[in-house]
Amino acid sequence: MKIYIDDFGTGYSSLSYIKNIPADVIKIDISFIKSMMENQKVFAIVNTIVELSARLGMETISEGVETVEQLVKLQSLGANMVQGYLFSKPVPEAEIRKML
């Protein structure tokens, strides 16, 4: 079993969660991914989250990846996993079974 910290960087998720919860994966909130290409500060935050996760032996999932440019940039940072409409919109369970 793995423990994920969802929507990292927004709401109630903070650095104290990393310190206090034995999490395995940090999910970088979609709001950061959507604006990281246009906003250098946001890009720096994403980069820092990816680097911090790696140093702590944790993986990252980048939520809301919609463009190849976002994917390439995240890969260059060393982000482990991505999810978003670039790969698929939500699919009903029956369709997923056909895809597998």
Render pLDDT for 1-27 as a digit per residue (tens, 0 to 9). 998 988 887 776 567 778 888 899 999
Domain count, the chain: 1
Mean pLDDT of 28-42: 97
Give the up-direction half-sphere exposure of residue 16: CA atoms within 13 A in the CB hemisphere.
4
* Calpha distance 43→22 (Å, rounded): 26
Radius of gyration of the chain (CA): 14
* Active site residues per annotation: 63
pLDDT over 80 at 51, yes or no: yes
Query: Residue 33's closest CA among 54, 53, 57, 9?
Result: 9
Instruction: Quote the domain boundaries for residue 90.
Output: 4-99
Phi, psi of 80 (to 5 degrees): -75, -50
pTM: 0.86
Mean pLDDT of 84-89: 93
Average pLDDT value over all residues in the chain: 92
